[in-house]
Structure 1
């Protein structure tokens, strides 16, 4: 149907009666709002208008400045839109939505951070030790570092504590206290890094050093006594080994000397026996010709040796007393007639 019928006047919905503003919606409403704002600003004094203009300029400038962010070298910017991760920014100048629409958190990836701590651990023989350590780490993934855990450093510290207790628990107390501190650090670092890799928190362990391994203060005196006794035992063992080596060397020298003396005596006895055998062999032809004369000659020679080797005393009866010496000691007096063997009877061999 037509909007304007004859005789009923204008029924155009877009027309307005005199003195009434247009009904809502569309561009007319926005224009009317701007006109109303301009009219109200026009009614203000000139001084108030300049202040509002200045405020608008400040707000616009703040919006422009807050939309820019600079990321330095070695840093990563994490952009959050309404609290959720949006993107990562590398080094340089970037644009973002003004706050509170977007916020940027800068994470320094080049910074070498340090942490130290003390761990109490039990050895295989139930000995308690106190281990002090220091470690250095870096942020390897900024997004994981901010969102993977409430406290990534606590996760790393817990990994160090657990792996250090496991490492100490595989050794005895003497082994832990006697092992150089530098030998415990490499396996500990490798074990901790494996745990951190399985629980990604955006951290990388760079170095870890064992500062000290000692008993706790509460039992330090008892361990000191044990250590002193162990040191004393080591000293005594060293002295015993030194004395044993000295005695063994002296015994070897004595044994060598006795062996050489025995060999010399053996050679001398063999030579003397060979000489006696040669002498008897030389007498054998004479003995075969005249045995009695040969025996008498041997008796005279033996008697001469006995008389020459022992003291002789002549008593008042005219008998000769001979003091026989056996092994360097006197065996007592013996008369010449009783102690000496009778001379063999010499008979000429008749042809």
Structure 2
């Protein structure tokens, strides 16, 4: 009861009357009363002093033990998450730290170690085939508080997200791509899909790498798929051989093209020059033709006939005076002339051949060229 309350009647808080105010009770008396209640304090006058001293020692030891129990160590690769009465206070850096026991809690989390979560299973591909796929996700903790308290179990959440992402990506790809050429693309697509799934959950982790292990078909059809893979490898080998052959042939073809272009240009230039030469020749011939048409016409005819007869071995001459056609075997005549120019032994056969050649020569007309009148008539 407070002093200023009505009805206190002059009593102090310790039960004394206002007339006998002796002040607060002595500590020895207080400890003596406590010791009596717990069955102690009977004896000489030194008992209460000893009991109070013992209690102080006990309290001091308790305080010291409580204070020493608050020291703890956070390892170099860890960060501590400190909670005070269950409320987040902050992160604790590595080293020797102190906390208030029964008040603060610290949960150390390794933030430097790269952790790994595997995922595997039989999955259905886009072309309705079943394939056995294995995946390994490597990650690291970047936010210790979110890793501990954002989800019930961050590792389990990441494992489920990886399995879901892997099934999604495999289900949108064909089996040939999964087994052979498309493995790297599937790995990158799975990585992106896992990050997309876990982003809203804020798990406090960062994915470092995704290892897509070699996929394989079910054991029941493994032999058939091995043959298919061998065929694909042969296909790639043939493609590389064809590319090598193309690289070897292409320079030669380009060289041939350039040579043909140069030959065509040379032919073009030659024809142009020859045409210009013919034009110049006819321009020079025109004044002469105007001055002496008959002589010029005769000369042109002779030049033309010489040019025509130069490439033939037989000549047929039609004579207007008779119905006979003269035949001039020029090839035989040339062969005989060449054989006559070479020395040879005299024999019966050679004498016969020479006599026959003489007869044939004598039987031929001396001048097989048409007369001037005939040429003019033809012109």
Fold conserved between structures, TM > 0.5:
yes
Name the structure 2 match of 1:7. none
Kindly indicate whether the alpha-carbon contact (under 8 Å) linking 1:182 and 1:210 is maintained by their aligned counterparts in 2. no
Of the candidates 78, 81, 87, which is equivalent to residue 76 of structure 1? 81
Structure 1 equivalent of residue 108 of structure 2: 107
C-alpha change, 1:213 and 1:264, in structure 2 (3 Å) is farther
> SS at 2:373's partner residue?
coil
Structure holding more strand per residue: 1
2:236 is matched with 231
Q: Report SS of the residue matched to 2:278.
A: helix
2:371 to 334, 343, 348: 343
Superposed CA RMSD: 5.1
2 CA distance for matches of 1:298 and 1:256?
Answer: 37
Distance 2:163 2:262 in 1: 65
Q: 1:33 to 1:285 in 2, by over 3 A?
A: closer
Spell out, residue by residue over 1:75-109, the C-alpha distance to the aligned partner (whole angstroms, 9 max, x if none).
Answer: 124467xxxx4665754322233xxxx79462326
2-structure distance, mates of 1:244, 1:280: 53
Give the distance between the partners of 1:339 and 1:183, measured in 2 at CA.
97
In the alignment, which residue of structure 2 is the partner of 1:321?
Answer: 328
What are the Cα deviations for residues 138-183 of structure 1, in whole angstroms up to 9, with x where unaligned? 16243x5445544220101222333344455556654995468599
Question: How many corresponding residue pairs?
Answer: 277
Structure with more contact order per residue of length (Cα contacts < 8 Å, sep ≥ 6)? 1
TM-score for both structures, normalised by structure 1? 0.56
- For the residue of structure 2 that corresponds to 1:345, the secondary structure is helix
Q: 2:161–2:198: 8 Å Cα contact kept in structure 1?
A: yes
Distance 1:41 1:344 in 2: 182
SS in 2 for 1:253: helix
Matched residue, 1:216: 216
Change (3 A) 1:60 1:178: farther
User: How far is the alpha carbon of 1:131 from its aligned partner?
Assistant: 5.0
1:140 and 2:168 equivalent? Answer: no
Structure 2 counterpart of 1:23? none
Cα distance in 1, alignment partners of residues 171 and 373 from structure 2: 101
Task: Give the distance between the partners of 1:174 and 1:338, measured in 2 at CA.
Answer: 93
2:195 and 2:301 mapped to 1: Cα distance?
Answer: 105
Establish whether residue 281 from structure 1 lines up as the match of residue 286 from structure 2. yes
> Matched residues in 1 for 2:266 and 2:228: separation?
56
- Kindly state the Cα deviation for residue 238 of structure 1 after the two structures are TM-superposed: 0.5
Distance 1:299 1:263, change over 3 A: closer
What does 1:179-194 align with in structure 2 at a 5 Å threshold?
A: 181=184, 184-185=187-188, 191-194=193-196
Q: Distance between the aligned counterparts of 2:80 and 2:107, measured in 1?
A: 6
> Residue by residue, what CA displacement relative to the aligned partner does 1:106-149 show, whole Å, maximum 9, x if unpaired?
2326443411424466665567474533412216243x544554
Answering whether residue 260 of structure 2 is matched by residue 241 of structure 1, we say no
Decide whether aligned partners of structure 1 residues 156 and 63 sit closer, same or farther in structure 2, where only a CA change above 3 A counts. Answer: farther
Q: Is the 8 A contact 1:181 1:213 kept in 2?
A: no
Instruction: Determine if contact 1:130/1:214 at 8 Å carries over to the other structure.
Output: yes
- The aligned counterpart of 1:94 is 99
1:314-347: CA deviation from partner (whole Å, max 9, x where unpaired):
xxxxx9934279xxxxxxx9x976995522229x
Q: Is the 8 A contact 2:119 2:162 kept in 1?
A: no
8 Å Cα contact 1:133/1:208 also seen in 2: no
- Structure 1 segment 262-273 matched on structure 2, within 5 A: 262-273=267-278
Question: 1:192-207 alignment to 2 at 5 Å?
Answer: 192-201=194-203, 203-205=204-206, 207=207
CA gap 1:197/1:212 in 2 versus in 1, 3 angstroms: closer
Distance in 2 of aligned mates of 1:110 and 1:302? 105
Structure 1 residues 66 and 179: alpha-carbon distance in aligned structure 2, compared to 1, 3 A threshold:
farther
Tell me the TM-score normalised to structure 2 length: 0.53
Cα contact 1:163–1:188 (8 A) shared by 2: yes
Helix, strand or coil at the partner of 2:372: coil
Q: Show structure 1 runs of 5+ residues with no match.
A: 1-30, 43-52, 314-318, 326-332, 347-351
